[in-house]
A = this chain, B = another copy of it.
Amino acid sequence: VNTNIKLSLPVVCFVWQLSMIILFGVFVRYNEESDTHWVDYRKENNITSDIENDYYFRYPSFQDVHVMIFVGFGFLMTFLKRYSFGAVGFNFLVAAFGIQWALLMQGWFHSLDYTDGKIKIGIENLINADFCVAGCLIAYGAVLGKVSPVQLLVMTLFGVTLFAVEEYIILNVLHAKDAGGSMVIHTFGAYYGLSISWVLYRPNLDKSKHLNGSVYHSDVFAMIGTLFLWMFWPSFNSAIADHGDGQHRAAINTYLALASTVLTTVAMSSLFEKTGKLDMVHIQNSTLAGGVAVGTAAEFMLSPYGSLIVGFFCGIISTLGYIYFSPFLEEKLKIQDTCGIHNLHAMPGVIGGIVGAISAAAATNTVYGDLGLENTFDFTGPFAKRVPTIQGGYQAAGLCVALCFGIGGGIFVGLVLKLPIWGDPADENCFDDEIYWEVPEDEESVPPILAYNNHMIPNKHADM
């Protein structure tokens, strides 16, 4: 197997980045709130203060989301004993690559100014680009350690494209709501990754079984990822919610769902391990399931106890997924899912879509208020006559769209990635940073008895 990417990786990066520059040159400009004409716009529109610039509504959430994408996803995947460089480094590469393409794709669908044919970007576009990339990073979790960086870039190129289309269909055509992206991001991303992994099935993967596990410190590194995801998830679900009560409520709902998930995850983990010990895999992953599942309904009047209930079940289901469903997926369905994204993103994402559909269908004027109902579901313009029950149906349709795009797109992209030109590792070299990284020589790796006979070991600093 040829894992040399000396030609392909630089070429893809350069060609891609040059294309981005050209496309941005042709299409992308600042929007009215990030352009120097804001000062005129403010005057003309009687905006009383600079603080009403959308920047101040969304920037703190944006930065939290940014941390989730780069540190959260990146470090969550460092749990493997010898794939931390690949986890955090390729995550970095893929995200930086994807956000640019996302700004264009989402821009064409959502932010195109028809007067001059330009995409006008502001802070909300940056958040949406980060969201879009999240879908691809979720997919990366399924194939972690088994693909080359070039394959990841191809996966991201197609992933972002598919994402932008399904997002347009779900949010604009169907007019479904999905503030935290349970459907648009998590369901799509997870099934996209799982389908790719299914196509790329490696029957002899146990040749690198000795590397497909953690060591003590790599598990602690992974907790950095877990915690930053967990802590900032309220920002994720509220980042593009409506100004005012929308963002406020989304943050509260997410905070509560996640707290609930932690307790049921711990309970299940302890229940299924001998002598009640806890398993780091569950703590690192299943504790996040509540955030995924409350994504769609975060903005709705789910009510605090509703959020707790969603979190309660997701902690249980996700942990059971790691215990029973992941081995089943691998053995029976031939889906090798390195990070267990089926348990963290796929199932909770689908649950989130269903919760969203039900809670939308159950919305009433009494609970929301007349204005509140119109506001929350944007029953305006062409959708002015839509009622909650119908909205619930469209929410459910949205979930189906996400599933179809994820599975269909994943199979297609998986077939592309099967071409023998991408430099992917042999079965015995999976989960090994040596293949794509200059790895520092850890001096302790010299067989100790030999080391002791030469000059190396007596230097006590040398063997950290």
Contacts and interface: CB of A to CB of B under 8 A. Distances in A.
B276 A437 contact: no
28 contacts: A13-B263, A13-B266, A13-B270, A14-B263, A28-B304, A30-B249, A30-B301, A33-B248, A34-B245, A34-B252, A35-B245, A35-B372, A39-B369, A39-B371, A50-B57, A60-B60, A74-B227, A84-B217, A93-B266, A96-B260, A96-B263, A103-B304, A211-B461, A215-B464, A276-B423, A444-B444, A445-B460, A449-B449
Q: Which 10 A-B pairs give the minimum distances between C-beta atoms?
A: A36-B372, A6-B276, A96-B262, A38-B245, A50-B244, A13-B267, A24-B305, A448-B448, A34-B248, A50-B243
Nearest to A461: B82
Interface in A291-322: 301, 303-305, 308-309, 312
Given A92-B262, A235-B63, A440-B214, A53 B248 contact: yes
Interface stretch (A65-73, A177-185, A331-339): A65-73
A100 interface: yes
Contacts of A29: 303-304
Given A17-B260, A89-B283, 5 more contacts: A9-B276, A33-B244, A48-B49, A53-B245, A276-B423
A258 interface: yes
A413 to B, nearest CB: 20
Contacts of A390: none
Chain A interface bracket (under 10, 10 to 19, 20 to 34, 35 or more): 35 or more
Contact of A20 (B16, B149, B260): B260
Given A85-B220, A256-B100, A277-B436, A267 B9 contact: yes
Most B C-beta atoms less than 10 A away, residue of A29, A97, A216, A440: A216
A448 B445 contact: no
B81 A461 contact: yes
B57 A438 contact: no
A82 B21 contact: no
Given A52-B51, A283-B89, A259 B34 contact: no
Contact of A39 (B71, B211, B245, B271): B245
A206 interface: no
Contacts of A383: none
Contact of A248 (B3, B123, B224): B123
Q: Mostly helix, strand, loop or mixed at chain A's interface?
A: helix
A10 interface: yes
Contact of A21 (B81, B244, B309, B462): B309
A258 B220 CA distance: 28
Interface stretch (A158-166, A186-194, A348-356, A451-459): A451-459
A285 interface: no
Nearest to A453: B449
A82 B304 CA distance: 38
A263 B93 contact: yes
A185 B251 CA distance: 24
Contacts of A264: 13-14, 17
Given A57-B50, A57-B51, A440-B219, A258 B96 contact: yes
A299 to B, nearest CB: 9
Interface in A140-188: 149
Given A10-B268, A89-B223, A224-B224, A70 B231 contact: yes
A138 interface: no
Contacts of A55: 244, 247-248, 251
Contact of A28 (B6, B126, B305): B305
A368 interface: yes
Contact of A122 (B248, B432, B442, B448): B248
Contacts of A122: 248, 252
A267 to B, nearest CB: 4
A317 to B, nearest CB: 14
Nearest to A213: B440
A349 to B, nearest CB: 21
Contact of A100 (B33, B210, B259, B369): B259
A203 B147 CA distance: 45
A59 interface: yes
Nearest to A20: B308
